[in-house]
């Protein structure tokens, strides 16, 4: 596998910090452009400082670092790959970030998560995941009531998939081959 381009923390206490993940991790980090766009959207809905965030399929921890840098009170980072979890732990400790990691399958983690725990849930499964799995993931979040009042689920997925028919869907934003689908608890 080729070396991964450095990730950059876009804003917050670690703005501009570059993080280079090992090239042997099975990941596809969100681009800086897409990440910056996502956080501009989220900043229109939330004051990110003090929020509780769940980052599923965390990979290199790219999104977890961004949430933590912007003042999230806690970020739970979940990935099933041991190397990814170790890298996130090491980086979070070096940067003194409130990131707790779990090595787990995302769906199994959701089945055990406490209800009403998170302000924002971000999930970036592999792009080859099928639409049905994305739909199940979204339904699980809302059926188990894992979001706090006014909470948001953001699913990053391939642009060929349309999730607009799901309950709580609010909007989708496209950045290259990536789409962020937004689901807000307060909107039906």
Residue 187 binned pLDDT confidence (cut-offs 50, 70, 90): very low
Q: Quote the CA–CA distance of 89 and 56 in Å, as a whole number.
A: 15
Half-sphere exposure of 7 (CA within 13 A, CB side): 26
Encode pLDDT of 67-103 as tens digits.
999 999 999 999 999 999 999 999 999 999 999 999 9
Specify the pairing of strand 7-8 against strand 18-19. Answer: antiparallel
Q: Is the pLDDT of residue 1 over 80?
A: no
**146 vs 113: CA distance, rounded Å:** 7
CATH class of 34-184: alpha beta
Domain spans of the chain, in order of start: 34-184
């Amino acid at each position: 596998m080729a070396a991964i381009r450095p990730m950059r923390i876009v804003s917050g206490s670690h703005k501009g910090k570059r993080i280079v993940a090992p090239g042997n991790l099975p990941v596809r980090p969100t681009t800086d452009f897409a990440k910056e766009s996502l956080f501009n959207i989220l900043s229109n809905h939330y004051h990110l400082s003090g929020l509780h965030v769940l980052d599923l399929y965390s990979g290199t921890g790219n999104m977890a670092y961004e949430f933590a840098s912007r003042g999230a009170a806690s970020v739970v980072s979940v990935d099933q790959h041991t190397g990814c979890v170790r890298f996130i732990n090491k980086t979070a400790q070096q940067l003194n970030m409130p990131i707790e990691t779990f090595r787990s399958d995302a769906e199994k983690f959701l089945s055990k998560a406490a209800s009403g725990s998170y302000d924002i849930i971000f999930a970036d499964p592999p792009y080859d995941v099928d639409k049905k799995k994305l739909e199940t993931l979204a339904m699980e979040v809302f059926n188990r009531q894992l979001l706090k009042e006014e909470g948001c689920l953001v699913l990053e997925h391939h642009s060929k998939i349309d999730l607009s028919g799901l309950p709580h869907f609010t909007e989708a934003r496209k950045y290259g081959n990536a789409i962020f689908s937004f689901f807000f608890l307060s909107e039906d």
